[in-house]
Structure formats: structure tokens, C-alpha cells
């Protein structure tokens, strides 16, 4: 069970709305910082533990700067993400470049920045070598795809349907080839879980990677410098969800480390991860105002936010908790579909959701929008992306991204030529 609380009061939000009209996402700096501290404390036993924040989750440089201060690097998968990381001074081996179907210029930029390059395919060894003018980087990491393998009694999803990574056979070959081509430092990565709250998955991932580290040493004489557990650590979206217990998970991983890595004389092996969702997800809130109430075959609440601000419910049917501000203690005895204004019937934040009676003008807060929220925004139907605000630890509110305007919407159109254009 999780208590879905808010880091602000109704009065605070009303004051913020006077300056910043709804809808907007607001992020809780204190929450993000405490969460980061908790993760690093849980893994303090592991030498040089680091989380490379998956930039795609919340690509705002102000947030990256907060995370940098907490010791995090970035996990980038595109040129713009690399440039964003560079903007806040996260460079060198504080960047993990985990991409797929990668263009050559992105490999070049990642290498220029000194990033650790994580290859998604065996054919990328040659591709990277050519992109870099005939020389592989000293440090190389490979992404492993375990296929339909079971590890530690856990079926690891169906990774053979996942486009990512190398097969086991390819993986051994890839390290061998990379070594022959002059690589001297090696990492091993995998990721197949997504938003997974069951610690057994994450533990099985660690076990599988530790066992591979041992096997690679035995077979190839290559000593792994780090393993990258990937992302996929879940957020407890529903009140009845059991949150991932990161302390227990870490101590279980430590036991495996002792039995598999230390016992085989492979200590120290760095443990890193590239979690995004778990880092910021629970610390973002979409604040929106009720525009209309509609009664037809069902009861509809129409908001000034739409799936252009938060795509997850419409796209994945994902649950996002909703609080009607100021009515937290009223009984949730009305059933609503909570919708946006897009001309798409899946533009719904919730279907058949029990809420206290909603009135026009009520402020609704949609929880857990700190990852894949604003980031997945789009302009379809002429919807403009909202502002992003940061609630500082001292209570101050800073706008860290303004809302889009019509000029932003048309910025890529050549309107000067439009006047001259004669159809
Ligand atoms: C998306 C992604 C992550 C982060 O996943 P979360 O669900 O945010 O933890 C990490 N690594 C890779 C390669 C990804 O694609």
C-alpha cells in the first residue's frame, strides 16, 4: 500500500495558478533529492555505484542538474539527449550512451564527449570503428538479450520479442573481437523489465549478469569492469501497489555479489544502473482545472489538460492516481471518466474512476507524472505543451520550462514564403 500524498497544499497551488495558469507539471525537488539519496545509500556497499538517469524520462536540464549534484550521470540514446547532458556539464564517463539503430554521427558525438558506449548489436563493433576513423574506444559495453531464458526461477519477460541486445553466443564473440581490436575496459548491460515492482525480476537480472561476468572471465580471460542493471524499476502508481523495496533488493544483490563475484576473485566489479522512471516519476504532478461536466450515457469530467500532456493512460491504459484538491477527505462516491479535449476518444486520464463529487473549477492533480509525462508530449490537434515548474526544497516555485505558444507551434513553418505561395 502507498499513500498517494501531495507535496503542496491547495492554498499553495491556488497561489501558483495565479501566476502560472493550468495545466502544468510541477516537480518536487525535495522528493527527488531524498529519493536519490535513498538509492545511493542503499547501494553504498557497492564501490563507485552510479545511476545514469535515463534522460528520456524527464529531459529537463534543471532536473539533470539536481541529479548531477546527487552523483548521477545520464543515460542518453540520441544526439539531443547527449547535447542536453553536455549543457549541464555531465560529460565523460558520467554518460552512458545506450542507443539502438544508432546513426554514425551520434556515436561520434558520444565518443567526443568521452561517454561510455553501450553497443546494441555485434555488427556495431565495425560500424563504430569506422565511424570513429578506424579505432574502437578503450572502453566498450554490450547489451545482452537473454532470449526466453529463465534465471533464478524467474521468466524474464519475453526478451526474444525485444529488438534490443546481443544473443549469448554473439556476446562472447563480441567481447573477443573488441579485445582483439584494442578495447581494454569492458562493461555488460541488460534491460528487459519495464515499470517492474517485483524485486525478483531485478534480482534475477543481477544474478544473470554476475554469472555471465564469471563465464566471460573463464572462457575469454576478460575481466568485466562494471555491470549495468538497466532501468525498469517500477513506480507504485496505484494505492494498493507494493512499492519496490530498494534496500532489501540491494542487500539481496549484495549476497549474490559475495557468492558469485567475490568468491570467484572478480571483486571489485562496479554496479551501475540507468533508472529514469523510479528516480523522478513519483515526484511530478500534472495540475489541471475542470472546465466542463457532461452527463450523457456516462458522467464526464472535462479538463484543461489532455493526453498531449500525459500520454500514458491513453496509450497504455496506465493508472494515474487523481486527487481533487481540497476534497481529499470527502467520500469517493461518484464515478467519472476524466477526459481531455483532444478529438480522440482515448484522451482519458481515467475511466470509471471513483472520485468525490467534482464541480466546475475544481483543481485536479494527476499523480506520478515526473517521468514520461511532459516528455511524451505532442502537438497533435494543435495542443500546445504545458509549462514545467519546480517546487524548490525551500518552498519557492521556479518555472523551468514555459508553456508553448502559437509561435512555437508554427516555428518550423516557412510563413514568409506562405504569403508568396500561389497554389
Ligand atoms: C528507457 C530506458 C531506461 C530507463 O527505464 P526506466 O523505466 O525509466 O527505468 C534505461 N535504459 C534504457 C536502455 C532504456 O531504454
Residue 406 CA to ligand 1 center (angstroms) comes to 32
Whether 192 is in a domain gets the answer yes
The last residue of a domain, from among 277, 304, 331: 277
Whether 70 is in a domain gets the answer yes
Q: What is the pLDDT of residue 230?
A: 97
Q: How many angstroms separate the CA atoms of 111 and 284, rounded? A: 33
Same domain, 194 and 224: yes
Same domain, 191 and 261: yes
Q: What is the pLDDT of residues 35-94, one digit of tens each?
A: 999 999 999 999 999 999 999 999 999 999 999 999 999 999 999 999 999 999 999 999
Q: Is residue 57 within 6 Å of ligand 1 at its C-beta? A: yes
The last residue of a domain, from among 277, 299, 329: 277
Whole-angstrom CA distances from 111 to 68, 75, 84, 104, 119 are 20, 14, 15, 11, 13
User: Per this entry, what is the length of the chain?
Assistant: 423
Judge contact between 113 and 86, C-beta under 8 A: yes
Judge contact between 168 and 217, C-beta under 8 A: no
Residue 274 CA to ligand 1 center (angstroms) comes to 6
Same domain, 206 and 298: no
Same domain, 84 and 216: yes
HSE of 401 in the Cβ direction (CA atoms, 13 Å)?
A: 20
Mean pLDDT of 313-321: 97
Judge contact between 370 and 27, C-beta under 8 A: yes
Same domain, 270 and 285: no
Whether 417 is in a domain gets the answer no
Same domain, 79 and 208: yes
Domain enclosing residue 43, as ranges: 29-277
According to DSSP H, which parts of 163-309 are helical?
Answer: 168-180, 199-220, 246-256, 277-280
The DSSP code sequence of 345-399 is: TT-EEEEEEEESPP-TT-EEEE---TTTTGGG---GGGPPPPEEEEE-TTS-EEE
Same domain, 223 and 323: no
Give the atom of ligand 1 at the shortest distance from the alpha carbon of 276.
8
Give the chain's radius of gyration (CA, Å): 23
Same domain, 89 and 231: yes
Nearest CA owner, ligand 1 atom 10: 231
Least confident of 151-160, 210-219, 249-258: 151-160
Q: What is the pLDDT of residue 161?
A: 72
Whether 85 is in a domain gets the answer yes
Mean pLDDT of 247-266: 98
For helices 79-87 and 61-69, the axis angle rounded to 10 degrees is 60
Whether 79 is in a domain gets the answer yes
Whether 16 is in a domain gets the answer no
- The preferred substitution site among 102, 145, 230 for testing ligand 1, maximizing ligand atoms within 8 Å of CB, is 230
343 is catalytic: yes
Mean pLDDT of 236-252: 97
CATH number at residue 199: 3.20.20.10
| Contacts (Cβ under 8 Å, ≥6 apart) of 202 | 193, 196, 229, 232, 233, 244, 249, 253
Same domain, 109 and 121: yes
Pairing relationship of beta strands 50-54 and 270-273 according to DSSP bridges = parallel
CATH number at residue 288: 2.40.37.10
Q: What is the mean pLDDT of the chain?
A: 96
Same domain, 330 and 380: yes
Residue 422 CA to ligand 1 center (angstroms) comes to 48
Same domain, 350 and 233: no
Q: What is the pLDDT of residues 276-309, one digit of tens each?
A: 999 999 999 999 999 999 999 999 999 999 999 9
Same domain, 264 and 308: no
- DSSP code, position 258: I
Q: What is the pLDDT of residue 138?
A: 97
Whether 15 is in a domain gets the answer no
Confidence of residue 153 (pLDDT cuts 50, 70, 90): low
Split into its structural domains, the chain has a count of 2
The last residue of a domain, from among 248, 277, 306: 277
Amino acid at each position: 500500500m502507498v499513500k498517494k500524498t501531495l507535496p503542496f497544499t491547495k492554498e499553495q497551488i491556488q497561489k501558483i495558478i495565479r501566476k502560472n495558469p493550468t495545466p502544468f507539471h510541477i516537480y518536487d525537488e525535495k522528493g527527488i533529492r531524498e529519493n536519490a539519496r535513498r538509492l545511493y545509500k542503499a547501494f553504498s556497499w557497492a564501490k563507485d555505484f552510479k545511476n545514469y538517469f535515463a534522460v528520456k524520462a524527464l529531459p529537463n536540464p534543471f532536473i539533470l542538474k539536481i541529479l548531477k549534484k546527487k552523483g548521477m550521470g545520464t543515460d542518453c540514446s540520441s544526439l539531443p539527449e547527449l547535447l542536453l547532458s553536455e549543457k549541464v556539464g555531465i560529460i565523460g564517463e558520467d554518460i552512458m550512451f545506450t542507443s539502438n539503430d544508432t546513426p554514425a554521427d551520434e556515436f561520434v558525438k558520444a565518443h567526443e564527449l568521452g561517454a561510455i558506449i553501450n553497443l546494441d548489436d555485434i555488427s556495431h563493433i565495425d560500424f563504430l570503428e569506422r565511424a570513429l576513423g578506424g579505432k574502437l574506444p578503450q572502453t566498450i559495453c554490450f547489451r545482452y538479450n537473454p532470449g526466453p531464458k529463465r534465471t533464478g526461477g524467474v521468466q524474464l519477460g519475453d526478451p526474444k520479442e525485444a529488438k534490443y541486445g546481443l544473443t549469448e553466443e554473439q556476446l562472447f564473440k563480441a567481447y573477443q573481437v573488441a579485445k582483439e581490436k584494442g578495447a581494454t575496459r569492458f562493461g555488460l548491460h541488460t534491460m528487459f523489465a519495464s515499470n517492474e515492482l517485483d524485486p525478483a525480476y531485478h534480482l534475477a537480472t543481477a544474478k544473470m549478469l554476475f554469472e555471465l561476468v564469471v563465464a566471460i572471465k573463464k572462457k575469454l580471460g576478460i575481466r568485466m569492469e562494471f555491470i549495468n542493471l538497466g532501468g525498469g524499476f517500477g513506480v507504485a502508481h496505484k494505492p494498493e501497489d507494493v512499492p519496490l523495496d530498494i534496500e532489501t533488493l540491494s542487500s539481496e544483490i549484495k549476497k549474490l555479489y559475495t557468492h558469485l563475484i567475490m568468491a570467484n576473485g572478480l571483486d571489485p566489479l562496479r554496479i551501475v544502473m540507468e533508472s529514469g522512471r523510479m528516480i523522478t516519476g513519483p515526484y511530478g504532478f500534472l495540475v489541471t482545472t475542470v472546465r466542463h461536466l457532461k452527463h450523457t450515457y456516462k458522467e464526464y469530467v472535462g479538463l484543461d489538460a489532455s493526453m498531449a500532456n500525459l500520454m500514458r493512460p491513453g496509450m497504455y491504459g496506465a493508472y494515474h492516481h487523481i486527487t481533487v484538491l481540497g476534497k481529499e477527505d470527502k467520500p469517493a462516491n461518484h464515478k467519472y471518466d476524466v477526459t481531455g479535449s483532444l478529438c480522440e476518444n482515448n484522451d482519458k486520464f481515467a475511466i470509471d474512476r471513483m472520485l468525490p463529487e467534482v464541480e466546475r473549477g475544481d483543481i485536479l492533480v494527476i499523480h506520478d507524472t515526473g517521468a514520461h509525462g511532459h516528455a511524451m508530449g505532442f502537438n497533435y490537434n494543435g495542443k500546445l505543451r504545458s509549462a514545467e515548474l519546480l517546487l524548490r526544497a525551500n518552498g519557492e516555485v521556479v518555472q523551468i520550462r514555459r508553456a508553448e505558444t502559437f509561435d512555437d507551434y508554427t516555428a518550423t513553418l516557412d510563413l514568409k514564403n506562405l504569403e508568396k505561395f500561389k497554389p
